[in-house]
Chain A
Amino acid sequence: MATVQERVISVTAQVLQLDPTEIKLDDEFGADLGAESVQSIELVAMFEEEFGIEMEEDAALAVSQVGNAIDFITKTCAEQGVEV
């Protein structure tokens, strides 16, 4: 089964239409990966569907780096009893 990191990068690549091998953990979704505000909303929705979780939108949208998103999602999964 793919890791949280692999799944986050895969979803990010799909939404932003990027090569997953070019996405690094310290990349900023906006500044480095070119995510517009609408795509940020899409990313949150896609992460929720990918992991079967609910994220509080203000907290989720405050996450700016890929690595931080992995940590945030891992923590949220643990809080909501979702195995990853």
Chain B
Amino acid sequence: MRLILFDLDSEPRECFYPLVLSRPIWELRCGMTSLGEKLIARTSPASIAGFLPDYMADVYRENSDWPVNDPTSLAGDDLLLVDARLKVDALDIESVGPSQVGLDEQGRCLYVRVAEADLEQLDTSSLESLLASARDSLPVVQGPLACWNYIWDLILANAEQLTIDFQAAGRSGIEGTVEEPLSIRGSASDVYIAPGALVHPQVVIDAEHGPVYLDEDSEVHPFSRIEGPCYVGKKTLLLGAKCREGNSIGPVCRVGGEIEESIIHGYSNKYHDGFLGHAYVGEWVNLGAMTTNSDLKNDYSNVAVSLDGGKAIDTGSRKVGSMIGDHTKTSIGTLLNTGTNLGAMALIAATGSLLPKFIPSFAWFVEGVVTKGFGKGKLYETAATVMDRRGHSWTASQEAMWDEIFKLTAESRGDAVKRGRRLLYAKHNK
């Protein structure tokens, strides 16, 4: 059976901005692993292929062994096509079996299982054609099936998913190096310290309310307190961190200060003090010292988030922090409001006031307003420098992808820049 993960270039994916501007939805993380890794583990495919928006296909090919956006992968085997938004627990079927379709509430295909013998009756010329013909001709199972609808769904599910993933991983004990004294609260069986991990003296691991997994070559500095459930990724460094429950961090992150119920993708730094709570942070992000986000409003009402600078969406939760896109940098003292959507490739020079709740991608936030700043070329130069420091290259494909993201986000950025100019002008003409 071949598993085909798909992330169509359609309206639902905008609900995962800014994190999916530069990656397919299946690369989003919840718990210890990505959504794609969970779907693969559930279905045990013989081979895998992926379909994602064209503008990011070349970058994904550089980092993947799978066929990407290749129509030939839609033939020659039993197929299980799965929308990356589908929750793994909702995929409650055998990977191979009679052909059938599962739908979401709007009638879109969330999965299609096709026996190879049935493929000839379907249009396999493209993914979209295959999905349409499958929906028209194959039996539809009763739905709707549960799926991830918004980026904050992952934040809110992270703590519970961490516990599930820890149990699925089936590891516990100390295989790394621990420099005593180490204090473990709760059951030692709920702690795993992987080979190569190094825990300095005077660290507290509190597994009373959830497991703690320190992955290979991670390092925990003195006076860190790690409360479970928590996953610390490979080569991630905790610097005296107050790491409260429900965090997924890394790989290759450097994290200090206080963090709670947050997901941080690889190669991002929050080196210094400051609070990050109920946040989702992309790759190659740097949060300056004392960058802090609010994750709870003073009136305890539900947090609302604007995905594009327009009308805000009620998250249904009292606790949602910030969504921060790849390559974004904040200055010292940045204050992020509750439910802030901070785009990708943005640069924040804080003024000491709370930031607006929506800052578009590629924005230069200067003197309290969104500006064009020094443009995307300068941001690319910085991205290349940052990546080089970690042994990664800024490639032509990445630049082409980010050029497309620049265009994709132009409208919301243009509106914000015009608003910013008016505010600046008014300030100087008082």
Contact = CB atoms under 8 A, between A and B. Distances in A.
A14 interface: yes
A46 B426 CA distance: 10
A58 interface: yes
B424 A57 contact: no
B367 interface: yes
B421 A45 contact: yes
B425 A41 contact: no
B367 A42 contact: yes
Interface in A22-61: 37-38, 41-42, 44-46, 48-50, 56-58, 61
A14 B428 contact: yes
Interface residues of B, number: 19
Contacts of A37: 374
A46 B371 CA distance: 10
B429 interface: yes
Contact of A41 (B374, B377, B422): B374
Contacts of B429: 14
B419 to A, nearest CB: 11
Interface string B389-430: 000000000000000000000000000010011101100110
Contacts of B367: 38, 42
Given A15-B428, A46-B428, A57 B421 contact: no
B375 A58 contact: yes
A44, A57, A61, most chain B CB atoms within 10 A? A57
A14, A38, A49, most chain B CB atoms within 10 A? A49
Contact of B366 (A11, A41, A56, A58): A41
Contacts of B349: 38
A48 B349 CA distance: 21
Interface residues of A, number: 17
B12 interface: no
Nearest to B375: A57
Given A38-B349, A41-B366, A42-B366, A50 B373 contact: no
Sorted nearest first, the 8 A-B pairs with minimum C-beta distance are: A57-B375, A49-B421, A49-B425, A14-B428, A57-B372, A45-B421, A41-B371, A41-B366
Given A41-B371, A44-B371, 16 more contacts: A14-B429, A38-B349, A41-B364, A41-B373, A41-B374, A42-B367, A44-B372, A45-B372, A45-B417, A45-B424, A46-B421, A48-B421, A49-B425, A57-B374, A58-B374, A61-B374
